[in-house]
Amino acid sequence: RVLIVDGAQHGLAITAMTLFRPGDVVAVDALTYPGFRVLARTLGLEPAPLPVTAGGPDLDVLERLCRRRRVRGVYAMPTMHNPLGWVLDEARRARLVSIARAHGLTIIEDASYAYLAEDAPPPLAALAPEATVYVSGLSKNVATGLRFGFVAAPDGLVPSLERTIRATTWNTPALTAELARRWLDDGTVDRLETRKREDARRRQAVAAEVLAGLPLVTHPSSYFLWLPLVPDSRSDRIAAALARRRVA
C-alpha cells in the first residue's frame, strides 16, 4: 500500500511516530542523514550507531546489538547513501533483511537518492515487504520545493500511518499531488532523473581529475565524495586551513 505524504522528511516523521515510542532503540549508521537524527531526538528515541565502511554498515555489530538490547528498528539507506554514497550489494542486503527478520526489527528504507543509482540491486522493501517501510519523494530528483513524497508500507501498518498523516497534516495538497502525477505519467520525472545522473557523473569526473592520485571514496553517479584523512587529523584545523584557501 502506498500513502502520499508532504515530502520524504514527512514520510520519515510519520513512520517513526507510528512505529516507535520514547526510549525505543533504533539502529542507525554512525554517519547518516542528519534529518533523521533530529527526528529521533525530537521523538525521544535512542539512536544506536553502527560503525560504517565504504561498503556499508557493520552488520556484525548490528547482530550483536540485537542480541544485547531490544532494538525496535533500523534506519537504512541501501541505495546511494546520504552522505556516504554507497550502494549495498545483494549479499549485504540479504543479511540485513535476515537480521531484521530474526530479531523482529522494522526497516525504514530511505530511498531519497536511489534514483542516482542505475542497475542497483532490489530494494529492501522488495526483499522483505512485510518488515520494511519504504520512503521517498520528488524533492531530490525533481525540485526541492516540490514537497511530494510517498510511503510504501506493509498492510498491517497502513491504518496507523493514515491516522498519523491526518494528525500531522490532515491531508496532502491535492494540487501538489496532481502535479506530481502528471510529471510521473508524462515522463518529466524520468527525464529529470536522467539529467541529474549525467550531472552527477560529470561532477565526479571533474573531482577525480582535480584530486587525481588521492584515495577517493565515492560512487560514479553520486553527489557525495569522501577524501580519507590520516588518523591524527583534526577537523577544526582542516576546516581553518580550507577557509584560508577559500574552500567552502
Residue 106 belongs to a domain with what CATH number? 3.40.640.10
Looking at residue 145, what is its pLDDT? Answer: 86
Looking at residue 172, what is its pLDDT? Answer: 84
| Mean pLDDT value of segment 193-202 | 96
Identify whether residues 65 and 128 lie together within a single domain: yes
The domain total for the chain is 2
Cis amide bond preceding 83, omega within 30: yes
Residues 197 and 49: their CA atoms lie apart, in Å, by: 30
| Mean pLDDT value of segment 43-58 | 95
Is the Cβ–Cβ distance between 108 and 135 less than 8 Å?
yes
Angle at 27 between CA 66 and CA 135, to 5 degrees: 125
Looking at residue 65, what is its pLDDT? Answer: 98
More confident residue, 163 or 232: 163
Identify whether residues 238 and 150 lie together within a single domain: no
pLDDT over 70, % of the chain = 100
Identify whether residues 39 and 115 lie together within a single domain: yes
More confident residue, 41 or 146: 41
The three grid cell numbers given for residue 151, joined into one nine-digit string? 510511503
Q: Which residues does 224 contact at the CB level (< 8 Å), separation at least 6?
A: 81, 82, 83, 84, 85, 218
**Domain with 148 in it:** 2-185
Identify whether residues 199 and 153 lie together within a single domain: no
- DSSP designation for 130: T
Identify whether residues 202 and 139 lie together within a single domain: no
Identify whether residues 112 and 199 lie together within a single domain: no
Among 12, 7, 11, CA closest to 180: 7
Looking at residue 17, what is its pLDDT? Answer: 98
Identify whether residues 85 and 179 lie together within a single domain: yes
Looking at residue 1, what is its pLDDT? Answer: 87
Query: Which of 169, 185, 201 is the endpoint of a domain?
Result: 185
Is the Cβ–Cβ distance between 226 and 211 less than 8 Å?
no
pLDDT band for position 144 (50/70/90)?
confident
Identify whether residues 104 and 222 lie together within a single domain: no
Looking at residue 124, what is its pLDDT? Answer: 98
Mean pLDDT, the chain, whole residue set: 95
Identify whether residues 121 and 48 lie together within a single domain: yes
Buried b (16+ CB within 10 A) or exposed e, 143-174: eeebbbbbbbbbeebbeebeebbeeeeeebee
pLDDT(71) > 90: yes
Identify whether residues 97 and 43 lie together within a single domain: yes
